[in-house]
């Protein structure tokens, strides 16, 4: 009976003047409606559309319904045929689609991805991107392609309503000591079922692997037992190359250039003041060159983790060093370590270690240096300077730019899944039993302080702009460091992204005056730079003139920063994790015991006793396996219906061609590298921070 009543009501809802069953009522248009594939997106409500052409002619309200079919289900594409009697008033090109739903049915929430209307006679297609929840009894007027600056939007009140709703949904966390985060994860930011299945399956597989491995005794008695975890038949984790190279100084130097955190190394114009070495100490490692000549030729480099000095006591009393390491670019253009001091203040119990020291003592110094850099990597370079920095841009974009804004459409694909990832990270990484406290030396509380401290000093126009970041650190010169994979491959990607953004921005901004007149983009920039304790995001280094984004170049710089950081920068600091971290002696995130305080001779047992117990070692492995997975579409892949303007679509296709050409060049160049570096192959760079 209920079904019969529904059918009768649907029939009554049809305009009485249109008899669709007559044979002469041919199909003139088809309407395709894609319901988004997110939780709760489907609806049982009744849906009507009105089509309007450029001359102002329009159809009557047309009920979209396929009898005896459940329309508008989650992830479903529904096709409806419009008859001549529906569309006889239309004369020209379609320019607006009007859509409305009621609140009938058990589940009437509805998220529409897009609607496509095709004219049968000419096969002309009109795309109306929605990308929003459709509220009951609200009339939505969507222009064809719906990509416009605020001044050009024919429906400004609807645009403002969109922004007001977005500000309710994307509420900002209130803690001014931390970067802005979303208070409650919006439903449409949740992982898709497919992605949830992938992450759950990957983590489950990592969890069961080697749990009862016979080659994993407790406690460890030799380094060979660690190797056994990666060796068939007992071990089933892939064997990293670092097992064979981790003791070598050449490898240690290459970790600064092609490792998990290539953002630390700086040119050193002198010996750092608090590094207790003299020229005489260094001469044995300079191949007969004077220190003055080495410095003049830009061959002396430093990694100074001084910002760790206030965090030396980590979770559960574990020690975190704050080292200074000096490197020399030798005659073969290889970067070689020549001195390591594990804490900032020189002293009798804080000696400087050299390659000429006892081999195991020198090895321990390198391990404790890498421990500090590894903890800094996870807390700062990875979490705060990619994940959490980009969350600020995502929130500002959702709250200040309408979904119709071309910059919203440009950036939105690069935020996919990121808010959900960050929400899970906050829930699992912090606290006394979180990953930062259990599997790292630094501890969760220290991460909160250090990460925020470093993010407030991160600048869009320096650290967020790769050429400037490299120049600022003095490592842009390829003549001195000819093989710096992160620099060389990263610049290729950065420049391709910048070209794409420049061309895209030029489509919608004829000149700088249009940028200045864009009220939404100016509000976006203002909120990004407003301090956290005043309700903003506290982002530094925005290229503003008198508080405004004053030019297209400035807008390009910021948008390029967002896209590059969300994709290539995150790839560079995330995906080397298994190769670098899996074999803990190579790049430890967790060491037990104390760093060496003198230069007496050590042996293998001194290294073995620093290793985490078996369960912690395996937990560490599971995490780096999980974090090293790639599951999203690669950089440049279109996402949904965000970019539908044909001119912008063509730019995206050109961008993809550029990336394919870059990848061919990188593959050819990689054949000459040792070790090889594929983390910035465009096909392996995800479009967004999704893990």
Q: Which residue has the higher pLDDT, 565 or 675?
A: 565
Measured between alpha carbons, how far is 388 from 177 in angstroms, rounded to an integer? 13
Q: Say yes or no to pLDDT of 8 above 60.
A: no
Please give the C-alpha separations between residue 606 and each of 165, 185, 601, in angstroms, as whole numbers: 60, 47, 10
User: Contact 533/176 with Cβ under 8 angstroms?
Assistant: yes
Q: How far apart are CA 181 and CA 97, in angstroms?
A: 35
Q: What is the pLDDT of residue 21?
A: 58
Quote the CA–CA distance of 177 and 156 in Å, as a whole number. 36
Q: How many beta carbons lie within 10 A of that of residue 317, not counting itself?
A: 8
In this prediction, residues 91-108 reach a mean pLDDT of: 88
pLDDT higher than threshold 70 for residue 181? yes
Q: What is the pLDDT confidence band of residue 13, given thresholds at 50, 70 and 90?
A: very low
pLDDT at 196: 67
What radius of gyration, in Å, describes the C-alpha atoms of the chain? 29
- The alpha-helical segments, DSSP class H, found in 14-101 are 84-87
3 state DSSP class of 48:
strand
Query: What value does the mean pLDDT take over residues 6-25?
Result: 51
What DSSP assignment string belongs to 637-676?
---TTS---HHHHHHHHHHHHHHHHHHHHHHHHHTT-SS-
CA angle at 426 for the pair 422 and 431, rounded to the nearest 5°: 165
pLDDT band at 219 (very low <50, low <70, confident <90, very high): confident
pLDDT in tens, 133-148: 999 999 999 999 999 9
Given a contact cutoff of 8 angstroms between Cβ atoms, the answer to whether 298 and 343 are in contact is no
Residue in 488, 490, 475 with CA at minimum distance from that of residue 335: 475
Q: Minimal CA–CA distance to 406: which of 662, 151, 51?
A: 151
Question: Residue 225: what pLDDT?
Answer: 85
* pLDDT reported for residue 323: 99
* Residue the block writes with tokens 């063509």: 650
Contacts of 443 (CB under 8 A, 6+ apart): 314, 315, 316, 318, 436, 437
Q: Using 50, 70 and 90 to split pLDDT, how confident is the model at 217? A: low
- Domain regions of the chain by residue span: 2-146, 187-193+375-594+608-684
Q: Supply the DSSP symbol for 593.
A: S
Evaluate if residue 489 carries a pLDDT over 70: yes
Least Cα distance to 638 among 114, 99, 93, 165 occurs for: 114
Residue 385 has pLDDT above 90, yes or no: yes
Predicted local confidence at residue 216, as pLDDT: 55
Nearest by Cα to 302 from 475, 479, 488: 475
pLDDT tens, 538-563? 999 999 999 999 999 999 999 999 99
pLDDT band for position 179 (cuts 50, 70, 90): very high
Residue 412 has pLDDT above 70, yes or no: yes
CA gap 528, 546 in Å, rounded: 15
Higher pLDDT, 155 or 639: 155
Q: Distance (Å, rounded) from C-alpha 360 to C-alpha 362?
A: 5
Per-residue pLDDT tens over the stretch 43-68: 889 999 999 999 999 999 999 998 76
Share the mean pLDDT of the chain: 91
Residues 595-654 have pLDDT tens digits of: 999 999 999 999 999 999 888 888 898 899 888 887 678 999 987 789 999 999 999 999
Of 613, 166, 674, nearest in space to 403 by CA: 166
CATH of 2-146, picked from 2.60.60.20, 3.40.390.30, 3.30.420.40, 3.30.465.10, is: 2.60.60.20
Q: Which of 632, 634, 365, 649 is nearest to 507 (CA)?
A: 649
Token pair of 74, please?
Answer: 């989650």
Share of the chain above pLDDT 70, in %: 91
Q: Where are the alpha helices (DSSP H) in 300-411?
A: 359-376, 389-400, 406-411
Residues 104 and 12 sit within 8 Å (Cβ to Cβ): no
Higher-confidence residue of 342 and 13: namely 342
Predicted model pTM: 0.94
What is the phi/psi pair of residue 93, to 5°?
Answer: -70, 145
pLDDT band at 375; cut points 50, 70, 90: very high
Helix/strand/coil for 373? helix
Q: Residue 208: what pLDDT?
A: 41
Pairing of strands 125-133, 140-143: unpaired
User: Cα 394–400–404 angle (5° rounding)?
Assistant: 90
Point out the least confidently predicted range of 207-216, 497-506, 653-662, 680-689: 207-216
Residues in Cβ contact with 572 at an 8 Å cutoff, skipping those fewer than 6 apart: 262, 486, 490, 679, 680
- In CATH, the number for domain 187-193+375-594+608-684 is 1.20.245.10
Classify burial at 23, counting beta carbons within 10 Å of its beta carbon; exposed 0-12, middle 13-18, buried 19 or more: exposed
pLDDT tens-digit readout, 419-442 = 999 999 998 888 888 898 999 999
**3-state SS, residue 82:** strand
487 Cα distance to chain centroid: 18
The residue to which tokens 């130097």 are assigned: 253
Q: What is the pLDDT of residues 242-296, one digit of tens each?
A: 999 999 999 999 999 999 999 999 999 999 999 999 999 999 999 999 999 999 9
Q: CB neighbours of 29 closer than 8 A, spacing ≥ 6?
A: 51, 81, 82, 86, 87, 117, 118, 119, 120
């Amino acid at each position: 009976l209920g079904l019969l009543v529904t059918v009768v009501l649907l029939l009554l809802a049809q305009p009485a003047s249109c008899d669709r069953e007559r044979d002469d009522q041919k199909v003139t248009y088809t309407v395709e409606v894609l319901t988004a594939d997110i939780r709760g997106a489907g609806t049982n409500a009744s849906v009507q559309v009105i089509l309007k052409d450029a001359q102002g002619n329009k159809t009557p309200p047309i009920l979209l319904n396929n009898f005896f079919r459940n329309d508008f289900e989650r992830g479903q594409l529904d096709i409806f045929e419009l008859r001549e009697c529906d569309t006889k008033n239309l004369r020209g090109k379609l320019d607006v689609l009007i859509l409305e739903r009621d609140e009938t049915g058990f589940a009437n929430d509805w998220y529409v991805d897009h609607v496509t209307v095709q004219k049968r006679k000419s096969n002309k297609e009109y795309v109306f991107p929605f990308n929003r929840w459709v509220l009951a009894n609200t009339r939505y007027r969507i222009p064809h392609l719906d990509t416009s600056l605020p001044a050009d939007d024919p429906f400004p009140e609807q645009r403002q309503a969109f922004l007001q709703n977005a500000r309710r949904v994307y509420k900002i966390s209130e803690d001014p000591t931390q970067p802005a985060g979303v208070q409650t994860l919006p439903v449409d930011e949740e992982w898709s079922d497919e992605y949830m299945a992938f992450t759950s399956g990957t983590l489950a597989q990592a969890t069961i692997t080697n749990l009862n491995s016979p080659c994993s005794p407790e406690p460890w008695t030799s380094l060979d037992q660690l190797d056994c975890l990666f060796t068939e038949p007992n071990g089933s984790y892939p064997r990293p190359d670092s097992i064979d190279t981790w003791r070598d100084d050449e490898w240690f130097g290459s970790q600064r250039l092609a490792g998990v955190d290539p953002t630390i190394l700086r040119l050193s114009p002198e010996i750092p003041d608090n590094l207790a070495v003299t020229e005489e100490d260094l001469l044995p490692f300079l191949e007969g060159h004077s220190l003055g000549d080495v410095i003049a030729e830009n061959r002396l480099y430093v990694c100074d983790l001084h910002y760790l000095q206030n965090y030396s006591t980590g979770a559960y009393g574990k020690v975190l060093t704050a080292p200074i390491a000096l490197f020399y670019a030798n005659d073969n253009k290889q970067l070689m370590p020549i001195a390591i001091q594990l804490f900032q203040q020189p002293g009798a119990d804080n000696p400087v270690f050299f390659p000429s020291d006892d081999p195991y003592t020198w090895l321990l110094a390198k391990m404790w240096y890498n421990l500090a850099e590894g903890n800094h990597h996870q807390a700062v370079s990875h979490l705060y300077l990619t994940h959490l920095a980009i969350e600020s841009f995502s929130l500002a974009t959702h709250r200040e730019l309408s979904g119709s804004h071309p910059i919203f459409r440009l950036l939105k694909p690069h935020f996919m899944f990121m808010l959900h990832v960050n929400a899970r990270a906050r829930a699992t990484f912090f606290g006394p039993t979180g990953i930062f406290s259990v599997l790292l030396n630094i501890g969760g509380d220290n991460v909160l302080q250090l990460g925020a401290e470093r993010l407030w000093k991160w600048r869009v126009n320096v650290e967020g702009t790769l050429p400037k970041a490299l120049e600022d650190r003095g490592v842009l010169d390829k003549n001195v460091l000819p093989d710096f994979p992160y620099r060389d491959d990263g610049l290729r990607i950065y420049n391709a992204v910048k070209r794409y953004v420049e061309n895209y921005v030029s489509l919608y901004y004829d000149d700088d005056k249009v940028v200045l007149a864009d009220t939404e983009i100016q509000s976006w920039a203002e909120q990004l730079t407003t301090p956290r304790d005043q309700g903003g995001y506290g982002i530094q280094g925005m290229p503003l003139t008198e508080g405004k984004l004053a030019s297209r170049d400035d807008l390009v710089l910021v948008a390029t920063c967002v896209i590059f950081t969300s994709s290539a920068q995150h790839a560079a600091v995330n995906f080397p994790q298994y190769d670098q971290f899996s074999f803990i002696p190579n790049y430890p995130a967790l060491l037990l015991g104390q760093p060496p305080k003198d230069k007496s001779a050590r042996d293998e047992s001194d290294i073995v006793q620093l290793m985490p117990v078996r369960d912690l070692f395996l937990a560490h492995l599971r995490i780096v396996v999980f974090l090293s997975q790639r599951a999203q579409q690669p950089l440049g892949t279109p996402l949904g219906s965000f970019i539908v303007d044909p001119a912008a679509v063509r730019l995206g296709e050109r961008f993809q061609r550029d990336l394919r050409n870059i990848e061919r060049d990188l593959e050819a160049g990689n054949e000459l590298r040792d070790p090889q570096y594929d983390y910035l192959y465009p096909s392996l760079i995800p479009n967004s921070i999704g893990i």
